[in-house]
Amino acid sequence: MNELKPCPFCGGKARWRYRKPVGWVMCKKCGASSATVSDNYEEVDCQQEAIAAWNSRVILDGCENELIVRCKDCKHYNTIGCSKGFGWCENIDRGTSDNFYCANGKQLNKESEVK
Q: pLDDT of the chain along its 115 residues, tens only?
A: 578 988 877 788 999 898 888 888 998 988 888 877 887 766 566 888 888 888 886 555 555 545 567 788 888 888 888 888 888 888 777 788 887 776 666 666 654 443 3
The residue type of 87 is G
Confidence at residue 103, expressed as pLDDT on a 0 to 100 scale: 62
Confidence at residue 33, expressed as pLDDT on a 0 to 100 scale: 85
Confidence at residue 14, expressed as pLDDT on a 0 to 100 scale: 93
Rounded CA separation 98/112 (Å)? 21
Host H or E run for residue 67: none
∠112-81-86 over CA atoms, to 5°?
Answer: 75
- Name the pTM for this structure: 0.51
Rounded CA separation 104/74 (Å)? 9
Rounded CA separation 26/51 (Å)? 10
Instruction: Outline where DSSP puts E strands in the chain.
Output: 14-19, 22-27, 37-38, 59-60, 63-64, 69-70, 77-78, 86-89, 94-97, 101-102
